[in-house]
Amino acid sequence: MPSLTHDFLAPVIAGLFAGVFSLVALLMGKEQKVSEFRQAWIDGLRADVARFISHSHAVKAVADTRQANANVAEDWNRMREDMVGINEAEALIKLRLNPNKQHYREILDLLSEESKLFRDHNNRPPVEALDDVEERLVVAMQAVLRREWIRVKEGEPGYRQVKLIAALLTIFCLTLAPLFWAVISFAPTIIGTDPSR
């Protein structure tokens, strides 16, 4: 005949373990979703920067083929679509980046620098200056993308904490399970209240 200890303690312990592991699974699922959103953010940022540079190259091509006596209206007609593309991509990049974070500040400053080149030169910026800004933009973007990719690969800070807690709880449970079994099984015999008598 089972004892009161068996009847009470075993289901409580099983329920406690199930609850803890359910909570850990829930938290890990949430953090996994955050990582998926971060990956989509990285992909979108990469596409926006590529579009920005692509349109900028098209504007440089117009500048390279410009005639010495070309009029501004002709140049504008040739560059108009690319100028709109540059402005759109720049706006999307700025909306994706937090200006309060230092590691994004360099990218935002470079975008402003390129816009200033266009404004200061009546939408006919010097090709060498554009090349310089774009090269620095690519280097800065590579650093940001690398940092964000490492964060996705390692998981969000909350995910790493939950993973550590889950590992510690598993070790704790596996370590204490034999002790609980021993207490439940042998305690009545040790104190002289063996239910089998």
Question: pLDDT tens digit string along 48-58?
Answer: 999 999 998 88
Walk along the chain (197 residues) and give the pLDDT tens digit of each residue: 455 555 666 677 777 777 777 877 777 777 778 888 888 999 999 999 999 999 988 888 877 776 555 666 777 777 889 889 999 999 999 999 999 998 899 999 999 998 888 888 776 778 888 889 999 999 999 999 999 888 887 777 776 777 787 778 778 777 877 776 676 666 555 555 555 55
CA 113, distance to chain mean position in Å, is 27
**Burial track 65-97 (b if 16+ CB lie within 10 A, e otherwise):** eeeeeeeeeebeebbeebbebbeebbebbeeeb
Nearest to 57 by CA among 162, 168, 131, 149: 131
Residue 71 CA to residue 189 CA, distance in Å, equals: 103
Model pLDDT, residue 113: 93
Distance CA 168, CA 159 (A): 14
Q: What is the pLDDT of residue 72?
A: 66
